[in-house]
Amino acid sequence: MIDPNPAEAAALIRAGKLVAFPTETVYGLGANALDPVAVAGIFALKQRPAFDPLIVHVASFQDIPPLTAEAPDGCVAVLAARFWPGPLTIVLRKSHLVPDIVTAGLPTVGIRIPSHPLALDLIRESGCPIAAPSANRFGWLSPTTAAHVRKQLPGVDMVLDGGPCPVGVESTVVAFTGEGSLRVLRPGGVTVEQLREALPRTEVLLDAGHSLPASPGLLESHYAPAKPLHILESMPDRLPEGSGLITHVPGRQRQDAARNFCTAPSGRLVETAAHLFTALHVMEDDPSVRRIFIEPVAEVGLGVAIMDRVTRAAFRWRS
């Protein structure tokens, strides 16, 4: 790991360049959120369709009012106090300051305060909000190390290397409905149970789809490795030759697998979340692995976000 230099990275952001940086969830591909030309560079480098809005990252709650057309109400303040800095994105009505390209023309903007110290340093030193999607090519595996970023986006101006991301799955994206309910648009690092506990009088709805307003069908495939991935409903007697096996409790590795990866040395869901994308990258990179098998986890707590990613990652390979 090269010594990260947030001051140099911030100078690049101010100059309209793209910087990949660590957050507690995954690496982001950042640009000055108030510079539409710089933001256009994100869409080009990621090959991301223009209909998919970006999250705007800020360093403190005071940075938010200029970006929104509504004064954050009591429920937003409760969520902010409980989960920020951290893996939660709140969708609010945007102000004119936020360029349309950032929000893909939507009247709303997703905002989050990340907790990774290097992300916060970068935002503060840049002196502007930073628009950042995950630093991968659109539709492919999310990056949780600097090496993952360089593999997919060799053209990025700089990668700020902060080591592996501790949470490992993206932020939970939420929006308040007109009726005062809270809709979870994308499950993530903050669980539905935690949201319900923070807002006991608010109805919390878990969207079956994804956060994208358009073309949900297209996004049934997302986070995909470049090799066939199958979810194992039960462990077969024999694995096909060239199998990579991803398990989530110790002691389930198999002799007949070309490569084994256990995401959770002590069997905890937080470990599986933290190592999920790394496991998939390892299998993608290993030439002895021709197809990947992954065990499912129970869909409770972080398991909802984990299975959301696994299901989408396997979608294009379903038979």
Residues of this chain that interact with ligand TXA (CB under 6 A) are 23, 25-26, 28, 52-55, 87, 89, 91, 103, 106, 108-110, 112, 114, 132-134, 170-171, 173, 185-186, 210-212
Please say which residue, 115 or 263, places its beta carbon nearer to ligand TXA: 115
Choose from ligand TXA, Mg ion, none: what does 91 bind? Cβ within 5-8 Å by kind: ligand TXA
Please say which residue, 4 or 133, places its beta carbon nearer to ligand TXA: 133
Q: What gap in Å lies between CA 235 and CA 222, rounded to an integer?
A: 25
Minimum Å gap between C-beta 314 and ligand TXA is: 18
Q: Are 245 and 231 within 8 A, CB to CB?
A: no
Please say which residue, 261 or 277, places its beta carbon nearer to ligand TXA: 277
Tally of CB atoms within 10 A around 107: 10
Q: Which residues of this protein are in contact with Mg ion, per CB under 5 A?
A: 134
Choose from ligand TXA, Mg ion, none: what does 103 bind? Cβ within 5-8 Å by kind: ligand TXA
Q: What gap in Å lies between CA 252 and CA 260, rounded to an integer?
A: 9
Please say which residue, 46 or 291, places its beta carbon nearer to Mg ion: 46
Choose from Mg ion, ligand TXA, none: what does 28 bind? Cβ within 5-8 Å by kind: ligand TXA
Residues with Cβ within 8 Å of 21's Cβ and at least 6 positions away in sequence, in order, are: 9, 27, 28, 30, 116, 118, 119, 122, 132, 159, 160, 162
Minimum Å gap between C-beta 131 and ligand TXA is: 9
Q: Are 114 and 24 within 8 A, CB to CB?
A: yes
Minimum Å gap between C-beta 79 and Mg ion is: 21
Minimum Å gap between C-beta 31 and ligand TXA is: 12
Please say which residue, 175 or 232, places its beta carbon nearer to ligand TXA: 175
Choose from Mg ion, ligand TXA, none: what does 116 bind? Cβ within 5-8 Å by kind: none
Minimum Å gap between C-beta 204 and Mg ion is: 23
Choose from Mg ion, ligand TXA, none: what does 171 bind? Cβ within 5-8 Å by kind: ligand TXA
| Three-state SS at 179 | coil
Burial 201-239 (b: 16+ CB within 10 A, else e): ebebeeeeebbbeeeeeebebbbbbebebebeeeeeeeb
Please say which residue, 46 or 94, places its beta carbon nearer to Mg ion: 46
Please say which residue, 132 or 224, places its beta carbon nearer to ligand TXA: 132
Minimum Å gap between C-beta 250 and ligand TXA is: 28
Q: Are 184 and 173 within 8 A, CB to CB?
A: yes
C-alpha distance from residue 195 to each of 109, 126, 154 (Å): 20, 31, 37
Choose from Mg ion, ligand TXA, none: what does 46 bind? Cβ within 5-8 Å by kind: none
Residues with Cβ within 8 Å of 119's Cβ and at least 6 positions away in sequence, in order, are: 21, 22, 23, 24, 28, 57
Q: What gap in Å lies between CA 220 and CA 298, rounded to an integer?
A: 20
Q: What gap in Å lies between CA 4 and CA 87, rounded to an integer?
A: 22
Minimum Å gap between C-beta 132 and ligand TXA is: 5
Q: Are 5 and 119 within 8 A, CB to CB?
A: no
